[in-house]
Amino acid sequence: MSQRVHNCVIPTDRHLDVEEHVWAKVDDDGVVTIGMTDIAQSLAKKFLHAHLKGPGTEVEKGKSVATVESSKYVGPVKTPVGGEIVESNEGVGDDASLINRSPYEDGWIAKIEADNLDDDLEGTLMGDEAVEAYREVIEGHDQLEECEHIEGSDLE
Amino acid sequence: MTDDTALILQTHGTDQPNRTYAPLFYAMTAEAMELDTTMWFTMDGTSQMAKGAAEEVQIDTSTDVTLRTMIDRALDAGVKLTVCHQSMELFDLGEDDIIEDAEIVGAASIIDLALDADMVMYF
């Protein structure tokens, strides 16, 4: 479930941290899957490397679960929730461009067993509220007119 | 943030644009990996910290990315910039000639930083 704004796919079925360009989806078993948004992968261009923190690592809300690099960008993937990483995406570790091709499905970054889920998710947005917040970000951004999707993207 | 610190020394100046990008990129990477990162500009590297100089260095000729762009990105990422006071004098640069984002420090301070750093890189 998603909407498209300036060719940027914005999911409406998960929590978004619009400022940090990450999403969090609470799975049926309560584990939270974290990933980067379409806007993030468009801004960074093709990711070349991803350095993921491994299972068992404790992370605080707002801290890094991975470092991602493109030729133009390097930065942390900041988790919206604190807790223990129970799984990190080896596929992304092997091929970071998976984040570009499938930011919301195969290109997830980490799965976290959250310590304080409800409190940590405060401040994130869902649904139409998230879409409108992101619309404002996209339209105000001086480096992004519309999202671009690389060959093989599941967003096209 | 971990407790780890990184120190990256840059001795190349604006006359070698190809040698300006990577150290800043490594500094941003170290910060992204939660190392408390400081860059130390010394010798010819001092020229990168002169007011107005970085804006004139074209990093990517296909875009408008300059050395100043990269310095700003590094600052946004949390990288601290320091510049060698002794080198400034060799290049006839006063405190007012250095960008405000950089801290001017002496040699003893950088020795301290190097002793305390968990990782030191030299360029």
Asked whether residue A153 is domain-assigned, the answer is: no
Question: Which one-letter DSSP state was computed for residue A61?
Answer: T
Query: Can you tell me the distance from the alpha carbon of A73 to that of A89, in angstroms, rounded to the nearest whole number?
Result: 20
Asked whether residue A19 is domain-assigned, the answer is: yes
Q: How many CB atoms lie within 10 A of CB A131?
A: 20
Asked whether residue A56 is domain-assigned, the answer is: yes
Interface of B with A in 41-100 (CB under 8 A): 65, 77
Best probe of the A interface among B4, B8, B26, B28, by most A CBs < 10 A, is B28
Range of A101's domain?
A: 2-140
Rounded to a whole number of angstroms, the distance from the CA of B64 to the nearest CA of chain A is 11
Tokens 């640069």, residue?
Answer: B93
Would you say residue B2 has pLDDT above 70?
no
* A62 Cβ neighbours under 8 A, 6+ residues apart: A20, A78, A79, A80
* Helix (DSSP H) and strand (DSSP E) numbers for chain A: 5, 11
pTM (2 d.p.): 0.84
Sign, CA torsion B63/A141/A93/B73: positive
A74–chain B Cβ distance below 8 A for any pair: yes
pLDDT one digit per residue (tens) for chain A, 156 residues: 999 999 999 999 999 999 999 999 999 888 999 999 999 999 999 998 899 999 999 999 999 999 999 888 889 999 999 999 999 999 999 999 999 999 999 999 999 999 999 999 999 999 999 999 999 999 999 888 899 999 999 998
Class of domain B5-122: alpha beta
Rounded to a whole number of angstroms, the distance from the CA of A28 to the nearest CA of chain B is 31
Asked whether residue A73 is domain-assigned, the answer is: yes
Q: Give the closest residue to A16 by CA, choosing from A74, A88, A91, A103.
A: A103
- Give A64's contacts in chain B (Cβ within 8 Å): 32-34
Asked whether residue A150 is domain-assigned, the answer is: no
Mean pLDDT of B57-69: 87
Asked whether residue A133 is domain-assigned, the answer is: yes
Asked whether residue A44 is domain-assigned, the answer is: yes
CATH number at residue A115: 2.40.50.100
Number of domains making up chain A: 1
Cα separation values, B109 from A110, A122, B37, B75, B104, Å: 40, 43, 15, 20, 10
SS3 A86: strand
Distance of CA A23 to the CA centre of its chain: 4
Exposed / middle / buried, residue A140 (Cβ in 10 Å: 0-12, 13-18, 19+): exposed
Q: Of A84-93, A134-143, B1-10, B108-117, which one has max mean pLDDT?
A: A84-93
* Domain range annotation of chain B: 5-122
A64–chain B Cβ distance below 8 A for any pair: yes
Which residue in chain A has the smallest CA separation from B28?
Answer: A74
Average pLDDT, whole number, for chain B?
93
Counting residues of chain B whose pLDDT is more than 70, the rounded percentage is 98
Q: Give the closest residue to A70 by CA, choosing from A37, A35, A96.
A: A96
Query: Which of A51, A63, A74 has the CB atom closest to B28's CB atom?
Result: A74
Query: Can you tell me the distance from the alpha carbon of B4 to that of B33, in angstroms, rounded to the nearest whole number?
Result: 10
Task: Kindly indicate whether the ipTM for this predicted assembly is greater than 0.95, answering yes or no.
Answer: no
